[in-house]
Amino acid sequence: MTRSIVGWICAGVLAFANGAPVVYEVEGKTYEGYYTSPHKTAPLVLLVHDWDGLDGYEKKRASMLHEMGYATFAVDMFGKGVVADTVEKRRALTGDLYNDRLKMRAILQAGVDAAKRVGANVDNAIGIGYCFGGTVILDFARSGAPLKAFVPFHGGLATPQGQSVEGITGEVVVFHGTADTAISMEEFATFAKELESAGISHEMHTYSGAPHAFSVFGTPRYHAEADRKSWERFSGYLKEVFGK
């Protein structure tokens, strides 16, 4: 798939001090990511949204990371102006990408390219994702993407047919809820075994009583203890990876 970036908002690092949209194009379709950075050399967190699309939740997480000294580029996987406001739309949007992994990877790579164009430090970066986004970031990992780490929060862990964890070049850190009925503990264990067998450095965290989407505050599924513990470990892990 041909990828091209046709536009971006760039007026120096100050333009992104409070977060700003970044517009780019993939195969003639316009996408709108979101970038925030405390300074021009800040380590980068590439963030992939859940099946609700890129909204206030991801921007809040980006703000939290900004305060910790990290830049965040939140990738738009659905397209500028696309509103995933019903379960039917969400299933259709995510299903389209689940069924076309090359398209999924191309959209994510276009986000990385857009981040680079606005000055993000893509050579010192990790990737994280929530729910659907966790599945996306692991797919990117299996493609051999050169990020330092891949961190899914309550994301899908099953390796698709025809794929392998052998191509993963960075560490994998998984945050999961033991009470998650969408992503089973069997899937969690199988993924851990695959990573171990392939010699991929990894951490696997699971939290009792935490359901699927446990970290999405403001929803019935929010589990405060699991969110707190996972964010604390994630924060510590960022310091280990980036040395700050």
Predicted confidence at residue 40, as pLDDT, reads 87
CB 176 within 8 A of CB 208: no
Write out pLDDT tens, residues 205-244. 999 999 999 999 999 999 999 999 999 999 999 999 999 6
Write out pLDDT tens, residues 144-189. 999 999 999 999 999 999 999 999 999 999 999 999 999 999 999 9
Write out pLDDT tens, residues 187-198. 999 999 999 999
> Which amino acid is it at 216?
V
* pTM, two decimal places: 0.92
Largest CA distance in the chain: 48
**Structural domain boundaries of the chain?**
3-242
Q: Is 218 left (phi over 0), alpha (psi -120 to 50) or beta?
A: left
Residue 159 phi, psi dihedral angles, 5° rounding = -80, 120
What is the CATH T-level fold of the domain 3-242, as seen in this structure? Rossmann fold (3.40.50)
Six token digits for residue 216: 């999405």
CB 147 within 8 A of CB 46: yes
The answer to which of 10-24, 96-110, 196-210 has the lowest mean pLDDT is 10-24
